[in-house]
């Protein structure tokens, strides 16, 4: 998931003042259950008060530890997206797991199935560690390849008895907007005919144009009408090659949702909560986990600070070579701040981008909003 688009950085102060007034609404949204025989679309039933949907998105490099964290907190998790498939050059779908890890990944997938939680694996266009435009371009612009990809994804969902598929095709061009929308609409139709659900991961933006070509390529309104879930990647406001700063300022998430709910039904929106951060020296950052951030703070004898403007933790330290480091990351408190922002817009679903295991305190916080039994979300794509 998850290349880092350039972000607008001029909204923090004004919206931060508004955030002081946000109160968690405590309302919920239904989640999918893998019924195996779901039919045409039905309205999404509101869950009981206090019910928020939580989705765990676990990349293949963190599959074992991520699955262990999910297994230890089954009362919190409503849906799991193992990030384990990618796009082949011919439009088919293949495993993203390195060959040497295939057996261990299969064992982890078996454990996740045993949890009886709907599985919605992600299919991406990542090749060799980077999102590949060359891999996805034929899908968008060659009709036979598009048809092959749709058939391959649908057959994957059917043959593996998945509840559906999460689509994560990134690094598109603005000129791909119409063809990508057509692809999503046709994929949704194919999956819905098989009684499967479609989720689509989209870059965060605060207006239709966004900040770059990747934003232009993604038509929120059209994709929101076709898909059952729209997962907004509300993180990487600052990234590896940007100046240091918060990964996902709550005020920016506020701006993203203020736009998103005008074009996507709120009950379809899922807000992304990153579970990592960056350690910068100058404008060069290294991705780190919550545990690594805390270890750095401890080993260098510096306290973690709290930035009230972005509602994010951070600290500075001096490396052994004398280099000045600045660390921004995500923890339970910053995640709760963004969950509260989402609730204020009537958006009651989050996905955890589990680059690495999260702050252990996150689970207790999420459990406060996941006390009622989930209800079923049927596929169909209608608003």
Let me know if residue 155 belongs to a domain.
yes
Residue 293 lies inside a defined structural domain of this protein: no
- Read off the pLDDT band of 379 (50, 70, 90): low
Which residue segment(s) compose the domain that 181 sits in? 12-35+49-276+331-357
- pLDDT of residue 77 exceeding 60, the answer is yes
Mean of the per-residue pLDDT values of the chain = 86
With pLDDT > 90 as the criterion, what percentage of the chain qualifies? 80
Q: Is residue 296 part of a domain?
A: no
Read off the pLDDT of residues 146-158 as tens digits, 9 standing for 90 and up. Answer: 999 999 999 999 9
Lowest-confidence pick of 47-61, 195-209, 232-246, 292-306 = 47-61
pLDDT tens for 216-225 read 999 999 999 9
User: Sorting pLDDT into bands at 50, 70 and 90, what band is 159?
Assistant: very high
pLDDT at 176: 98
Q: Has residue 182 been placed in a domain?
A: yes
Residue 181 has pLDDT above 60, yes or no: yes
Any domain includes 117: yes
Q: Mind spelling out the 3-state secondary structure of the chain?
A: CCCCCCCCCCCHHHHHHHHCCCCCCCCCCCECCCCCCCCCCCCCCCCCCCECEEEEEEEHHHHHHHHHHHHCCCCCCCEEEEECEEECCCCCEEECCCHHHHHHHHHHHHHHHHCCCCECCEEECEECCEECHHHHHHHHHCHHHHHHHHHHHHHHHHHCCCCEEEEECCCCCHHHHHHHHHHHHHHHHHHHHCCCEEEEEEECCCCCCCCCHHHHCCCHHHHHHHCCEEEEECCCCCCCCCCCCCCCCHHHHHHHHHHHCCCCCHHHEEEEEECEEEEEECCEEEEEEHHHHHHHHHHCCCCCEEECCCCEEEEEEECCCCCEEEEEECCHHHHHHHHHHHHHCCCCEEEEECCCCCCCHHHHHHHCCECCCCCECCCCCCC
Of 3-17, 55-69, 357-371, the range with the lowest mean pLDDT is: 3-17
Does residue 56 fall inside a structural domain?
yes
Higher model confidence: residue 55 or residue 373?
55
CATH assignment of the domain containing 160: 3.20.20.80
Q: Is the pLDDT of residue 5 over 50?
A: no
Tell me the per-residue pLDDT of 344-375, one tens digit each, with 9 for 90 and over.
999 999 999 999 999 999 999 898 865 334 33
Domain count, the chain: 1
| Residue 31 maps to a domain | yes
Using pLDDT thresholds of 50, 70 and 90, give the confidence band for residue 2. low
Residue 380: pLDDT band by 50, 70, 90 thresholds?
low
| Any domain includes 42 | no
Q: How far apart are CA 259 and CA 383, in angstroms?
A: 17
For the record, the structure tokens of 373 come out as 């039994």
Q: What is the pLDDT of residue 13?
A: 38
């Amino acid at each position: 998931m998850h290349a880092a688009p350039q972000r607008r950085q001029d909204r923090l102060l004004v919206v931060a003042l508004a955030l002081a007034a946000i109160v968690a609404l405590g309302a919920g949204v239904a989640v999918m259950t893998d019924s195996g025989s779901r039919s045409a679309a039905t309205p999404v039933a509101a869950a009981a008060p206090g019910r928020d949907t939580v989705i765990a998105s676990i990349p293949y490099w963190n599959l074992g530890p991520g699955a262990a964290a999910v297994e230890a907190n089954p009362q919190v998790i409503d849906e799991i997206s193992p990030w384990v498939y990618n796009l082949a050059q011919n439009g088919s779908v293949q495993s993203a797991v390195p060959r040497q890890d295939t057996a261990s990944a299969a064992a982890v997938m078996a454990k996740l199935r045993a949890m009886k939680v709907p599985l919605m694996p992600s299919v991406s266009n990542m090749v060799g560690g980077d999102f590949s435009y060359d891999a996805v371009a034929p899908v968008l612009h060659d009709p036979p390849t598009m048809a092959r990809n749709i058939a391959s994804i649908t057959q994957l969902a059917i043959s593996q008895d998945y509840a559906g598929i999460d689509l994560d095709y990134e690094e598109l061009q603005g000129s791909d907007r119409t063809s990508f929308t057509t692809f999503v609409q046709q994929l949704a139709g194919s999956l819905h005919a098989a009684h499967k659900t479609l989720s689509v991961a989209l870059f965060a933006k605060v207006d239709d144009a966004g900040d770059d070509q990747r934003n232009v390529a993604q038509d929120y309104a059209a994709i929101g009408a076709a898909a059952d879930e729209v997962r907004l990647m509300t993180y990487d406001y600052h990234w590896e090659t940007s100046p240091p700063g918060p990964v996902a300022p709550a005020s920016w998430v506020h701006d993203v949702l203020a736009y998103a709910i005008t074009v996507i039904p709120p009950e379809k929106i899922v807000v992304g909560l990153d579970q990592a951060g960056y350690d910068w020296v100058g404008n060069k950052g290294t991705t780190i986990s919550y545990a690594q951030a805390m270890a750095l703070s401890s080993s260098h004898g510096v306290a973690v600070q709290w930035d009230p403007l972005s509602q994010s933790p951070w600290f500075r330290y001096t490396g052994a070579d004398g280099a000045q480091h600045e660390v921004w990351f995500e923890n339970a408190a910053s995640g709760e701040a963004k969950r509260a922002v989402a609730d204020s817009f009537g958006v009651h679903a989050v996905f955890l981008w589990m680059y690495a295991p999260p702050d252990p305190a996150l689970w207790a916080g999420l459990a406060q909003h996941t006390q009622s039994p989930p209800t079923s979300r049927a596929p169909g794509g209608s608003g």
